Copies of this chain bind each other. A is one copy, B any other.
């Protein structure tokens, strides 16, 4: 049964401070990939309208729930599930409400039901063939994950340019030359492309993937990919993650340094406080 919710969010702003009209939107800005949705109101019919942030969490809930199912747990409350997923229960309930009402008041949720519903929403009832481009260290690791994280994402093709690798099976799949990408992607109906090449090659590989018809890309290369609007790109950026952690280490250090030391306003690291 499809989601029967209404399109939800209207202009909830009850604040009278709302400005006049000004609907002159359509700014042709340099907007990059990321979001595809058409900004101007009029949501498509019974819009799927699940906030991106919620989608990410649904995937987490799904994993937790699968674990519970294996342990034979049948029912769980929002409180417990939220806890296991590392979020608070209000958020969890709101997230689940986006996909429908599958809980029982006074009781909780049936694990099986939730698993099924989340899988449906995430499109996991269908298999998504994946290809990995760039069979270096990381590519190897990814290919060897075999069936990729969880089932449902079979890796069916590997590409590289290194002649020594072509034909060599990695994780059971022989490596093809990148020049054959179009043919192979079509033949094996690849729907998701993973880029694990050195940064310099990433954009070109990306272009080839797109040309081959791939519309979803997971990018491990430390580059900002330019893609057409209709292509969805997610990136996993080690350097950025490390640097964010670094930022926190630094901030922690700052705090430690100045704590206890009176209200001195001296800029710790050079940020001049102008006035």
How many copies altogether?
A: 2
Once the chains bind, are B192 and A218 in contact (CB under 8 Å)? no
Cα of A84 to Cα of B4 in the assembled complex, Å: 11
Query: Separation in Å of the A2 CB from the closest CB of chain B?
Result: 9
Once the chains bind, are B6 and A86 in contact (CB under 8 Å)? yes
Q: A145-B137, A249-B216 are in contact. Are A243 and B122 (CB under 8 A)?
A: yes
Once the chains bind, are A258 and B86 in contact (CB under 8 Å)? no
Q: Which residues in window 52-105 of A have CB below 8 A to B?
A: 52-53, 55-56, 59-60, 62-64, 79, 82-89, 99-101
Once the chains bind, are A249 and B128 in contact (CB under 8 Å)? yes
Which chain B residues lie closer than 8 Å to A259 at the CB level?
45
Once the chains bind, are B242 and A153 in contact (CB under 8 Å)? yes
By a beta-carbon cutoff of 8 Å, the part of chain A in contact with chain B is 3-4, 6-7, 16-20, 29-34, 38, 42-46, 48, 50, 52-53, 55-56, 59-60, 62-64, 79, 82-89, 99-101, 120-124, 126, 128, 130, 137-138, 140-142, 144-145, 148-150, 152-153, 191-192, 215-218, 222, 224-226, 232, 234, 236-255, 258-259, 265, 267, 269-275
A-B contact pairs, 22 of them (CB 8 A): A6-B87, A17-B274, A30-B79, A45-B259, A45-B267, A59-B244, A60-B237, A63-B239, A99-B271, A120-B269, A121-B250, A123-B246, A137-B144, A145-B238, A148-B239, A150-B242, A152-B246, A192-B245, A215-B252, A216-B249, A236-B236, A236-B238
Closest 7 CB pairs of A and B: A123-B250, A3-B86, A149-B239, A137-B141, A59-B243, A216-B245, A86-B224
